[in-house]
Amino acid sequence: MSSPTPGIVYLVGGGPGDPGLLTLRGLACLRRADVVVFDRLIGRELLAHAPAQAELIDVGKESDRHPVPQDRINGLLVDRAVAGKVVVRLKGGDPFVFGRGGEEAEALVAAGIPFEIVPGVTSAIAAPAYAGIPVTHRTVACSAAIITGHRSESGQAEECSWLSAAGADTLVLLMGVANLPRIVAQLVAAGRPAETPVAVIQRGTFADQRVVVGTLADIADRVVTEGIRSPATIVVGEVVRLRERLRWFDRPDRRPLAGLRVLNTRPRHEAAELTARLAALGAEVVELPCMEMAPPDFGPLDAVLQRLAAFDWLVFTSVNTVTFTLDRLFALGYDARALGGVRLAAVGPATAQALHSYGLRADFTPSRFTAADLATEMGDVAGARVLLPRSNLIPPAPLPSQGRGEMLPLLSLRRGEKGDGGMREVRPDLADALNARGAIVETVIAYTVRPATAEPGALAALLGGQIQVVTFASPSALDGLATLLGDRTLADVLTPLCVACIGPTTADAARDLGVRVDLTPEEHTVAGMVDELVRWRQGK
């Protein structure tokens, strides 16, 4: 048997953190990787570019928290390539800037393995750039040295070499935070004025980048006071002063929600978008899921799914109705053919997208996402048999102006009525509208909504006065929070805080419960609510 065609190893620089700083060449290599061997500092988003079946090997740390030794990494690269694999060795920043990429390339040469180097954006230049500090600048600095601040076992030799570079106008030190007091002392002893400006950039280019500026005299203390930790890049030299004018990425006006702690009350599996949008604007987000979805009593749902062929239309009013209904249908042993004779309606784009993820296309989506529009635009439904899956308390009552942030689930309530479990009863708008047009509507409970179990840390943060803004994306979140609060009333707990509601239905529900509502966006989406919060903050 002939041996497999030899593979290849790409030593790829993954950039400093911001996933947009991967090169096109690096992306192309990742996309065709059989194996990705990656380091601790690699942004996880980059790994998502590798094919789903690629083998991902983390050599950043082993179970005992020590990194995998270099010779084992070299051996791994050689073994996989000998087996014919396309191997991407993905490294933080640039592979040849303190990345031990040179050693890995030497091992590949020794083993006769083909390889290519894909340079990356090094943190030595990118972290200062994201802090608004050019490492060279006309009339200010005409040279820059990249230096390791790590004291290697080679001791003496290492120190000599770094001080010889200390004559450059700008010094960029990597791996130096732990040794900062020694580094500044040696620089001052070597003749750098104590007032030379210094910046330390923690997690440069990441959303949570932090920058501390001082001088050789005080930077070591400042770094301790501010709690700056590795990975961080140290910049020494007059160029640091340019940050005052050139600061951009971490400018306060780009992070209008910095310093705010915001409670996200969405159900766990729907919390991500709101959290991401808030965090991108600098807010600290505390997730306290207030309700959760659970399967219903399957009896009625199963019975209706067994006679799906009797319906003309299956109308989905939320992503949850799609997932719970179809998951159950398939769990019963049916496949997509069971839907063959039934037309599918989706209330909005997110619901249609959910259908699409099951390989199904909606036959109908209304032009505007309201119950009335859905009912009228479906055409002649007189005599049509319509199945309307819903939750135990949530009606098919789509809200106006749902864009991409289509609210899930779609809520409405009948004032003053309490349903089971202290949650609200529903107003069956859509069923009414369809009935009025002569359709024969049957509803079935596809899932239940119930108050979530408390997240002790998040609840303590709310009760301990550590939260400034509470967001609600549905009336059931209010009901769920009321349940979590036990003896304390919502009004009591929320009065000192800013209360943001995604739309008028949720805001009405809040007022019904005695809660003052501070913000309701024009556009009833997660994005709209976040924009409104920014306007509120700026107006303060």
Q: What positions carry a catalytic annotation?
A: 39, 61, 175
Is position 123 an interface residue for ligand SAH (rule: CB under 6 A)?
yes
Can you tell me which of 7, 16, 289, 405 binds ligand SAH, judged by CB under 6 A?
A: 16
Can you tell me which of 10, 26, 94, 345 binds ligand SAH, judged by CB under 6 A?
A: 94
For residue 19, whether the previous peptide bond is cis, meaning omega lies within 30 degrees of 0, is: no
Can you tell me which of 203, 277, 390, 427 binds ligand SAH, judged by CB under 6 A?
A: 203
Can you tell me which of 73, 87, 172, 232 binds ligand SAH, judged by CB under 6 A?
A: 232
Positions in 173-202 near ligand SAH (CB under 6 A): 174-175, 201
Positions in 333-392 near ligand SAH (CB under 6 A): none
Residue 354 CB neighbour total at 10 angstroms = 22
Cite the beta strand spans of 149-249 per DSSP E: 170-174, 197-202, 210-215, 232-236
The C-alpha atoms of residue 46 and residue 28 are separated, in whole angstroms, by 12
The C-alpha atoms of residue 475 and residue 412 are separated, in whole angstroms, by 8
Half-sphere exposure of 223 (CA within 13 A, CB side): 25
- Minimum CB distance to ligand SAH smaller for 16 or for 475: 16
Site size toward ligand SAH, by CB under 6 A = 25
Task: List, in order, residues 6 or more apart from 355 with CB less than 8 Å away.
Answer: 316, 322, 344, 346, 361, 362
The C-alpha atoms of residue 496 and residue 427 are separated, in whole angstroms, by 32
Is position 231 an interface residue for ligand SAH (rule: CB under 6 A)?
yes
Query: CA nearest 358: which of 367, 346, 369?
Result: 346
Positions in 17-56 near ligand SAH (CB under 6 A): 17, 41
Is position 104 an interface residue for ligand SAH (rule: CB under 6 A)?
no
Structure tokens given for 75: 């051996």
**Of 91-99, 283-291, 429-437, 528-536, which segment contacts ligand SAH by CB under 6 A?**
91-99
Is position 97 an interface residue for ligand SAH (rule: CB under 6 A)?
yes
Is position 14 an interface residue for ligand SAH (rule: CB under 6 A)?
no
- Minimum CB distance to ligand SAH smaller for 98 or for 324: 98
Q: How far is the CB of 285 from ligand SAH (least distance, A)?
A: 22
- Minimum CB distance to ligand SAH smaller for 43 or for 396: 43
- Minimum CB distance to ligand SAH smaller for 134 or for 419: 134
Task: List, in order, residues 6 or more apart from 342 with CB less than 8 Å away.
Answer: 308, 309, 311, 312, 313, 314, 387
Whether 392 and 296 have beta carbons less than 8 Å apart is answered as yes
Can you tell me which of 7, 43, 197, 204 binds ligand SAH, judged by CB under 6 A?
A: 204
Is position 127 an interface residue for ligand SAH (rule: CB under 6 A)?
yes
Q: How far is the CB of 122 from ligand SAH (least distance, A)?
A: 3
Structure tokens given for 517: 């509502």
- Minimum CB distance to ligand SAH smaller for 92 or for 409: 92
HEC letters along 402-439? CCCCCCCCCCCCCCCCECHHHCECCCCHHHHHHHHCCC
The C-alpha atoms of residue 477 and residue 526 are separated, in whole angstroms, by 14
Query: CA nearest 92: which of 39, 49, 47?
Result: 39
Is position 230 an interface residue for ligand SAH (rule: CB under 6 A)?
yes
Can you tell me which of 10, 98, 115, 447 binds ligand SAH, judged by CB under 6 A?
A: 98
List of residues contacting ligand SAH (CB under 6 A): 16-17, 41, 91-94, 97-99, 122-124, 127, 174-175, 201, 203-206, 230-233
